[in-house]
């Protein structure tokens, strides 16, 4: 995991809904992450039957491949 830059607020812990067919991954492409305003909004938008799970994520960070990614902090559901 890339640590957040203490001088900026680009990468920070956020609540989100993550689309993942399997929850075994620890990092996600930005296109699979929908940032929400709050934990309750993420929980309300989660749809486990559609592989959309509420989580706390850290990001976005730029990977070595040049893609923006988020890291899993914890699953909320």
pLDDT of residue 66: 86
Q: What percent of the chain has pLDDT over 70?
A: 87
Cβ contact 35:14 at 8 Å: yes
For Cα atoms 41, 43, 44, give the angle at the middle one, nearest 5 degrees. Answer: 65
Specify the pLDDT at position 74. Answer: 96
pLDDT tens digits in sequence order for the chain, 77 residues long? 555 555 556 678 999 999 998 888 899 999 999 999 999 999 999 999 999 999 999 998 888 888 899 999 999 97
- Average pLDDT value over all residues in the chain: 88
What are φ and ψ of residue 9, in 5° steps?
A: -120, 35
In tens, the pLDDT along 33-44 reads 999 999 999 999
Contact 72, 25 (CB under 8 A): yes
């Amino acid at each position: 995991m890339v640590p957040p830059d203490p001088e900026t607020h680009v990468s920070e812990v956020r609540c989100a809904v993550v689309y993942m067919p399997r929850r075994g991954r620890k990092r996600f492409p930005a296109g699979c992450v929908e940032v929400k305003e709050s934990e309750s909004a993420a929980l309300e938008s989660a749809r486990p039957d559609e592989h959309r799970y509420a989580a706390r994520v850290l990001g976005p960070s730029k990977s070595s491949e040049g893609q923006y990614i988020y890291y899993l902090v914890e699953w909320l559901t």
